[in-house]
Amino acid sequence: MNVHVLPALNATLNGIAAILLVTAFVFIKQGRREAHKRVMLAAFTTSILFLISYLIYHAQVGSVSYQRTGAIRTVYFAILITHTILAATVPFLAVITLRRGLKSNFVKHKAIARWTLPIWLYVSVTGVIVYLMLYQF
């Protein structure tokens, strides 16, 4: 397998996860619990696939350096640092939130989902931005 296609796959999976998260949010706001549940399970699965692909890529390639200089370098690292710190929390938050929802503990589910959604969405969107800045620009 050519691991050099994995960054594009990872960005695509992050983008799909972001779309699914927004869709699930709309569904729950509309009171469509079953649709919300299905879409959140799809978002979780997509994020697991991303994590597997990400780990495979970096196990083979290692760290990739950002080559640009100037102000854009500062912007890149500001995005990367916040993305990385928050990305470390997403698996834990997502599992706890998902578990509470699946157990129908909706009060606790909603309480943590208020934190999980914006963090997970930020990580998914900034994952795409980091990819674009690192590999496309």
CATH number at residue 104: 1.20.120.80
Domain count, the chain: 1
* pLDDT over threshold 80, residue 86: yes
Average pLDDT over residues 74-89: 98
Average pLDDT over residues 63-74: 96
Please, which residues have CB within 8 angstroms of residue 15's CB and are 6 or more apart in sequence? 124, 128
pLDDT digits (tens, 9 = 90+) for 24-57: 999 999 999 999 999 999 999 999 999 999 999 9
Provide the 10 A C-beta neighbour count for residue 31: 8
Would you state the pLDDT for residue 1? 73
pLDDT digits (tens, 9 = 90+) for 119-131: 999 999 999 999 9
For the four alpha carbons of 5, 12, 83 and 114, in that order, the dihedral sign comes to negative
Answer yes or no: are the C-beta atoms of 135 and 8 closer than 8 Å: yes
Average pLDDT over residues 106-124: 98
pLDDT digits (tens, 9 = 90+) for 49-59: 999 999 999 99
What is the domain extent for residue 74?
A: 3-136
